[in-house]
Amino acid sequence: MLAARQGRRTLVCEMDAKGALASAFDVRALQFEPTEIDERLDAIAMNTEDALREYLRLFVRVPLIGRIGPLASTFDFVADAAPGVKEILGVGKLCYEVRERHYDVVIVDADATGHVVSQIGAPRVIRDLVQVGLVRDQTQWMLDILEDPQRTGVVVTTTPEEMPVVETTELLRELTGRTGVHPCLVVANRVLPVLFTKRQAAVAARLDEVDDLLVEAAGPGVSTVLTGARITEARRRTGARHLAKLRRAVAELPQDELPIVTVPELLTRASGPRVVHAVADSLADELTGAER
């Protein structure tokens, strides 16, 4: 989204095909062929059959007519037995788009934390399994793209909660140790804003003492508002502790300084493109500040 706003043509790939990207941009279900979802912004959804079809056409030079369902089923059977085989199609498709320069920027909406390492690390796995030949040559050029920090980086997104922070820390360590792909940014999403200064928080804590007067002056809803504000502030403080833990963990990683930027909780019922643009605006401000 940010790249598209800067005038560059961007491709976004949804790897898990759950439809979240199409829903966010309020467009029809994504396919393997690019769909324009915003100005200078195309999107695709990865699937095994179409990725296999394109691989056979581009690299094996096999002309294919119609569906390849039986072949795809056979491939699934083999892929379940051999690690990295299935993942290599998805990663290879993305690396191919980068190599051919069909887009200025290629963004991957990757699988969940438990799968993304094996997905990114698939070319290394295949390279170690296959020592010579066409397959090894193809995985090597993928690795040249993936392991070049000037061309490829992983942006890890988390929320200021205990389990997401723990998973993010583990993911960053695994990426560094197992894949050769470089983390370049951590985004903490849904960060609650500070509601009270210290002086205001002290006052808010004592408002129960004058609850009857507040109800009389402002109406019965004032108690609900105060309760909501206190709950929100308690969540913010808890989130701040988790963010501090994340910053300490990131500082201990054996790599160059890794920026952490935050996206605020939007506190809105809106959905679709309006939310996407709001998040993009917030990220743009944060990244500009990080560059300074």
Q: Would you say 241 and 167 are in contact if contact means Cβ atoms under 8 Å apart?
A: no
Is residue 263 domain-shared with residue 144, that is, in the same domain?
Answer: no
Domain boundary among 123, 152, 181: 152
DSSP label at residue 286:
H
d(CA 242, CA 164) in angstroms, rounded, equals: 9
pLDDT tens column, 50-83: 877 787 777 666 565 455 555 555 455 444 545 5
d(CA 64, CA 55) in angstroms, rounded, equals: 11
d(CA 259, CA 188) in angstroms, rounded, equals: 11
pLDDT of residue 78: 45
Is residue 60 domain-shared with residue 168, that is, in the same domain?
Answer: no
Of 202, 147, 151, the C-alpha closest to 175 is 147
Domain boundary among 98, 129, 152: 152
With b for 16 or more beta-carbon neighbours within 10 A and e for fewer, the 69-97 pattern comes to eeebeebeeebeeeebbbbbbbbbbbbbb
Is residue 171 domain-shared with residue 290, that is, in the same domain?
Answer: yes
Is residue 203 domain-shared with residue 215, that is, in the same domain?
Answer: yes
pLDDT of residue 234: 87
Q: What is the CATH number of the domain that holds 126?
A: 3.40.50.300
Of 212, 153, 160, the C-alpha closest to 184 is 153
Residue 270's Cβ-count burial label (10 Å; 0-12, 13-18, 19+) is exposed
- Which H or E element spans position 240? helix 221-251
* Cβ neighbours, 10 Å, residue 115: 13
pLDDT of residue 63: 60
SS3 label, residue 271: coil
SS3 label, residue 264: strand
SS3 label, residue 31: coil
pLDDT of residue 73: 54
Is residue 9 domain-shared with residue 144, that is, in the same domain?
Answer: yes
Is residue 142 domain-shared with residue 166, that is, in the same domain?
Answer: no
Range of the domain at 204: 154-292
Is residue 148 domain-shared with residue 159, that is, in the same domain?
Answer: no
pLDDT of residue 256: 72
Domain boundary among 137, 152, 167: 152
The residue ranges of the chain whose pLDDT is under 50 are: 65, 74, 77-79, 81
pLDDT of residue 60: 62
Is residue 131 domain-shared with residue 158, that is, in the same domain?
Answer: no
Residue 106: phi and psi, rounded to 5, are -120, 120
Residue 89: phi and psi, rounded to 5, are -65, -45
d(CA 275, CA 144) in angstroms, rounded, equals: 36
Is residue 140 domain-shared with residue 31, that is, in the same domain?
Answer: yes
Of 139, 103, 108, the C-alpha closest to 122 is 139
Residue 120's Cβ-count burial label (10 Å; 0-12, 13-18, 19+) is buried
Is residue 34 domain-shared with residue 121, that is, in the same domain?
Answer: yes
pLDDT of residue 5: 55
Q: Which amino acid is at 228?
A: G
Domain count, the chain: 2
pLDDT of residue 114: 72
Is residue 168 domain-shared with residue 141, that is, in the same domain?
Answer: no
Please name the residues in contact with 224: beta carbons below 8 A apart, sequence gap of 6 or more: none
Is residue 196 domain-shared with residue 259, that is, in the same domain?
Answer: yes
pLDDT of residue 59: 67
The DSSP code sequence of 75-124 is HHHHHHHSTTHHHHHHHHHHHHHHHHTSSSEEEEE---HHHHHHHHTHHH
